Structure 1
């Protein structure tokens, strides 16, 4: 429904190569505008028909699919973060225990203390940088 980052970056890149800054702006706006128009039209249609049982049923059916898509993306990130070679192999030398511990501590802090996720991410970034730098120095 919306152009992805690759399409927008490609349009901007081609626009700047062909016509400079103005070309980049026109290409980017040209890439984004159709999606924005479609979303506005769909929003107006939804607003008009949102109380119909058919629309409510369709949206209720879409919720589990959206949850599955988000879970799939999350699982892909977990695999890359927790397993050193990107393959799910539960061997001790393949699991990144630092990442697993940082994840567990972050999850605990987020759920227990309701801390702002930005602060948790920044803290994990600093702690991870220190731990991985120390591990690389020792190796």
Structure 2
């Protein structure tokens, strides 16, 4: 859903500007989008969906991880606050997805931590999102779903 930048910074060396930029993109923008969707939703009861993409990355990229945690909570709040409209809201953590940004060394290290022996693909994530958007996914609400091949 949202991504500001990737920075190699932690608790002690993250700048205020970087922290604020991450929260502006990953938390505030998400809240504004979901809020406006809820205000404007006019579809049939049970057909509305909010799905956010998150990450469990924290160490070495504190502002990104912290802002994604805020995104999670905003989306999960929407599951309760928009339910009267027939809108479900869920968060998907796709784990490591190879979209071309990884170095060979990182790719191999992450594959080694995945029981299925491969990284995720955008299509892997899309399949779950497609299900959540379908009538069959209408009972799933307020969940943080891991779609990561068992990555750990």
Q: Which has the higher helix share?
A: 1
TM-score, with length taken from structure 2: 0.28
Give the structure with higher Rg (CA): 1
Q: Which has the higher strand share?
A: 2
